Structure 1
Amino acid sequence: MITGELKNKIDKIWETFWTGGITNPLTVIEQFTYLLFIKGLDEVETTKENEAVLLGFDYEGIFPKDKQYIRWSKFKNLEASKMYEIVSKEVFPFIKNLHGNKDSAYTKYMSDAIFVIPTPQILSKIVDGIDNIPMKDRDTKGDLYEYLLSKVATAGTNGQFRTPRHIIKMMVELMKPTPEDIIVDPAAGSAGFLVAAGEYLRNNHSDLFLVQGLKEHFNNTMFYGFDTDRTMLRIGAMNMMLHGVENPNIQYRDSLSEQNTDKDKYTLILANPPFKGSLDYDVVSADLLKVAKTKKTELLFLSLFIRMLKVGGRCACIVPDGVLFGSSKAHKAIRKEIIENHKLEAIISMPSGVFKPYAGVSTAIIIFTKTGAGGTDNVWFYDMKADGYSLDDKRNPIDDDDIPDIINRFNNLEGEMDRKRTDQSFFVPVDEIKDNDYDLSINRYKEIEYEEVEYEEPSVILGKIKEIEDEIIKGIEELEGMI
């Protein structure tokens, strides 16, 4: 999690934006991100230049030789008005046109980006503040982004809310992305799942960067993210690029509509789709309604995930608890579809405080593989009670944390077969789930052990009450004698 020192630095920069009249949190994040990106570009360029000198070969950088002054390390030391002129008139147009590929995510979402920092003095203060933030560590970048996004006062548009980074990381570690995967988040937001998947691959499959085909795949054809909020798309595209993915496929798309024609395309879906209530049938892709005729987005997204995955593709997504036990025809239909026609592997029930302070909704993680031919045998359930943070609005770090246990047990499911229903995790046979109307709520199957409490005989208890009563009367008499 973010350190107090880094938090204070960001708060100070945020305050500078506010005093400059930029008060919309997403606008602040956008402008903040542009400057972080400009600084990051210069740092990456410097590293590559140093490597070229060390290895003795020529390096042609992204900054033109006659415009070295537009690099962060150069303009940050200039007088405020000169700096403002260079950043607004040269640096900003430079990053907007950085990618020659007109179809790249970066070019598309930077095309309508606007530099809105109002004065040279405000820019100078912000540049000084950002210059003091260490950006070389990828974890620091992630923490910084997490904290910036946490400052969005509302729960987001259309009922979306941020997924905590430690939950994203857990889901990625459960799914173990491979260098050959094609990964999508159809409700990408700031691209948190895609960034985490990229980081997992860097940490666990670093040799992929030594194989030209896999390296090309990582940078160009591995990561896909869709959203309908252009601000979040811009932030997501820059987030991916800052985390070393050269050309992420971050696109403007309403995933549930007819414009999304993706079918049998991806091998891994990681998502926390919005639970924004109801949509009209006429704005939803017709083939999604065939699986479950519903207006509820959380059910429609599950239908979408099944359609988008290749056979053998895997999905880990967050759903509100109602998806697991809802009694409507559509709720049962989508659960039956996943259980009967594909392979449902796990349901991880999360406590309601996980998304506080943004929402108090109870959620679960559902993990399944698209087979098209069934395969569900035993479904693994886990009752997460703690995630390493207090479950109130403050979300302070605590010692109790089930996440390491969840990852360890999911990676060793053969050892779970003998677990009892009174344990925190256990298997439930598919036939039992079918008999329970495809109910997937953990409380349906969990057994609670009640300890037998032995009480004293009633006559003994009455005797003790009389003794206490006698003491009270004696005390009252003593008080009366004192008056």
Structure 2
Amino acid sequence: MSNISGFIKRLRDIMRNDAGINGDAQRIEQIAWLLFLKVYDTKEQDWEFEDEKYQSIIPEPCRWRNWAHEESGKGMTGDALMNFVNNILFSVLKGKDIKDPNGNILIKGIQVDPTTPIKKAIVKTTFEDANTYMKDGVLLRQVISVIDELDLSDYEESHAFGEIYETILRELQSAGSSGEFYTPRAVTDFMAKMINPQVGEHCADFACGTGGFLISWLKELETKKKNTDDVEKIYNSIYGIEKKQFPYILCVTNMLLHDVDTPQIYYGNSLLQNILDYTDKDKFDVVLMNPPYGGNEKADVKNHFPSDLASSETADLFMSVIMYRLKENGRAAVILPDGFLFGTDNAKVSIKKKLLSDFNLHTVIRMPGSVFAPYTSITTNILFFDKTRPTKETWFYRLDMPQGYKHFSKTKPMKLEHFTPAMEWWNNREEIIVDDAPKAKKYTVEEIAALGYNIDLCGFPHEEEEILAPQDLIQQYREKRASLDANIDRVLAEIMTLLGNKE
């Protein structure tokens, strides 16, 4: 077995010497497409074994085994390798034909259409906007050789590499803005556990990033399979869509590594369809999500939403998508920032009114501020709701920092065991008061309405002023200003009504 534990370090040490690699994000992106081709080639060996008529969508010269695998005798290096990758491999995988000087086609670019099986179509969508950064062919050869050492056909090594892949994904948190695509595994595992998946149900994530929620969903279902039919149902139970190329590649590779041979992961933007157009076939039993937040969408995106729900805040828009795509009796667990809870601007109030009147918002878990550090220090929450009946009451539970932790960090990340108090409370709910402030409390829908739909309840006592990163601070100020403006407008409207009644 190759030295899997040192895998990342070996790649990093080689790539540091390449002038084309500028920072962690580019390094991981370069590794991402190489890993995809290696993993895909291993999968193709399985598919060829299962079906002797299997034909790869990748032309022979561009299959990993025929250009990257050194034992094939065709392993290139130096300028020849750089020329092949830049001018042949990427062109072919993006769908462009390679021609000789007379215009004759030497290698046909891969093409997909609606009839192309998912497991083949993913190759083209994976490379549509992919980039290669390395400039030194000798160093690139060294990187390829390290990746090619992985024996993913060996069960133990493949399983061990699955753990290493999680390390790669965790590294995204420190790779600049790419951290937004990774939700700590402890959080996704907790949410999947509480949602209690059943074999035969379908789960969606409409901004799936690297696929963490879908993997946690699969992991929970693994314990419930009883026969081979169940296995097939489980692997076909996930749906993801991701609008950014880099996490899309990581997600598809993640699914292949977890034996999902036909990953229903799509490259696109969930906000670009009019939500009123969704039909029952577009709906799911379960939604698990951490919608992107802090972003502002363009006016044309807002046109896909009813005017009262047309917020400019990305997380708000995703909440509407979730509500319109959840089946009757369906369940959802969604991570949202504090701004959604305390926001009382028109769009947020409309979304919360719809959530409480059309869904049963039964639980809100308030999470500590550093769960997503270092990417963001904005405090986040998990909303659990289902489409069974209107909300009558909502429980709020504050998850405090575990003993001995001042905050979570890269070296001290959140673990599933830190959710133990919440899990113990979940099945035996009672109000908890700590230092005269509620840590867990139930509020009726009438009480929530009386608060103007500000559901910033059972929050953290702020003993000291929290120092936020500039972008987080700006976002928080925007949210609070919008909420304040909405309150002022409401009070002015009430005053005008009273004055009108006196006249």
Q: Could you say which TM-score interval applies, normalised by the shorter chain?
A: 0.7 to 0.9
| Residues 148/184 of structure 1: CA separation in 2 closer, same or farther (3 Å cut) | same
Pair 1:377-2:392 in alignment: yes
Q: Is the 8 A contact 1:421 1:445 kept in 2?
A: no
| Alignment counterpart, residue 14 of structure 1, candidates 1, 12, 15 | 12
| Residues 329/125 of structure 1: CA separation in 2 closer, same or farther (3 Å cut) | same
How far did 1:403 drift? 0.9
| Alignment counterpart, residue 183 of structure 1, candidates 182, 203, 206 | 203
Counterpart CA distance in 2 for 1:394 and 1:444 is 25
**Count of residue correspondences:** 421
Correspondence for 1:463: none
Q: Is the 8 A contact 2:441 2:458 kept in 1?
A: no
Counterpart CA distance in 1 for 2:65 and 2:174 is 29
Counterpart CA distance in 2 for 1:111 and 1:293 is 33
Pair 1:409-2:425 in alignment: yes
Pair 1:302-2:319 in alignment: yes
| Mapping of residues 372-451 of structure 1, within 5 Å | 373-374=389-390, 376-386=391-401, 391=407, 393-397=409-413, 402-410=418-426, 412=427, 415-416=428-429, 418-422=430-434, 424-443=439-458
| Alignment counterpart, residue 191 of structure 2, candidates 168, 171, 183 | 171
Correspondence for 1:455: none
How far did 1:119 drift? 4.3
Q: Is the 8 A contact 1:155 1:161 kept in 2?
A: yes
Pair 1:284-2:272 in alignment: no
How far did 1:397 drift? 5.0
Gaps of 5+ in 1: 449-483
Correspondence for 1:75: 69
How far did 1:368 drift? 0.7
How far did 1:108 drift? 3.6
Counterpart CA distance in 2 for 1:289 and 1:198 is 37
Correspondence for 1:268: 286
Counterpart CA distance in 2 for 1:345 and 1:250 is 30
Pair 1:194-2:214 in alignment: yes
Q: Which amino acid is 1:311 matched to?
A: E
Correspondence for 1:109: 125
Q: Is the 8 A contact 1:347 1:364 kept in 2?
A: yes
Correspondence for 1:127: 144
Correspondence for 2:32: 33
How far did 1:106 drift? 0.7
| Alignment counterpart, residue 323 of structure 1, candidates 340, 362, 370 | 340
Counterpart CA distance in 2 for 1:406 and 1:267 is 24
Gaps of 5+ in 2: 95-109, 151-156, 464-503
How far did 1:445 drift? 11
How far did 1:139 drift? 4.8
Q: Is the 8 A contact 2:397 2:439 kept in 1?
A: yes
Greater alpha carbon shift after TM alignment, 129-138 vs 18-27: 129-138
Pair 1:233-2:248 in alignment: yes
Q: Which amino acid is 1:329 matched to?
A: N
Correspondence for 1:461: none
Correspondence for 2:100: none
Pair 1:145-2:165 in alignment: no
Q: Is the 8 A contact 1:17 1:23 kept in 2?
A: no
Counterpart CA distance in 1 for 2:296 and 2:290 is 17
Counterpart CA distance in 2 for 1:445 and 1:359 is 17
Q: Secondary structure at the match of 1:224?
A: strand
How far did 1:259 drift? 5.8
Deviations 1:89-125 (A, max 9, x none): 7998998869996363513413534655544422332
Counterpart CA distance in 2 for 1:173 and 1:166 is 10
Counterpart CA distance in 2 for 1:34 and 1:125 is 15
How far did 1:28 drift? 2.9
Correspondence for 1:456: none
Correspondence for 1:468: none
| Residues 161/40 of structure 1: CA separation in 2 closer, same or farther (3 Å cut) | closer
Q: Is the 8 A contact 2:187 2:416 kept in 1?
A: no
Q: Which amino acid is 2:14 matched to?
A: T
| Mapping of residues 304-383 of structure 1, within 5 Å | 304-371=321-388, 373-374=389-390, 376-383=391-398
Question: Higher Cα Rg: structure 1 or 2?
Answer: 1
| Residues 196/74 of structure 1: CA separation in 2 closer, same or farther (3 Å cut) | same
Greater alpha carbon shift after TM alignment, 397-406 vs 103-112: 397-406
Correspondence for 2:177: 154
Counterpart CA distance in 2 for 1:192 and 1:318 is 13
Counterpart CA distance in 1 for 2:13 and 2:372 is 26
Q: Is the 8 A contact 1:354 1:387 kept in 2?
A: no
Counterpart CA distance in 2 for 1:343 and 1:7 is 45
| Residues 285/306 of structure 1: CA separation in 2 closer, same or farther (3 Å cut) | farther
Q: Is the 8 A contact 2:397 2:458 kept in 1?
A: no
Greater alpha carbon shift after TM alignment, 18-27 vs 86-95: 86-95
Q: Which amino acid is 2:249 matched to?
A: R
| Residues 320/328 of structure 1: CA separation in 2 closer, same or farther (3 Å cut) | same
Q: Is the 8 A contact 2:311 2:347 kept in 1?
A: yes
Q: Which amino acid is 2:166 matched to?
A: D
The TM-score with structure 2 as length reference comes to 0.70
Counterpart CA distance in 1 for 2:226 and 2:52 is 23
Q: Is the 8 A contact 1:386 1:401 kept in 2?
A: no
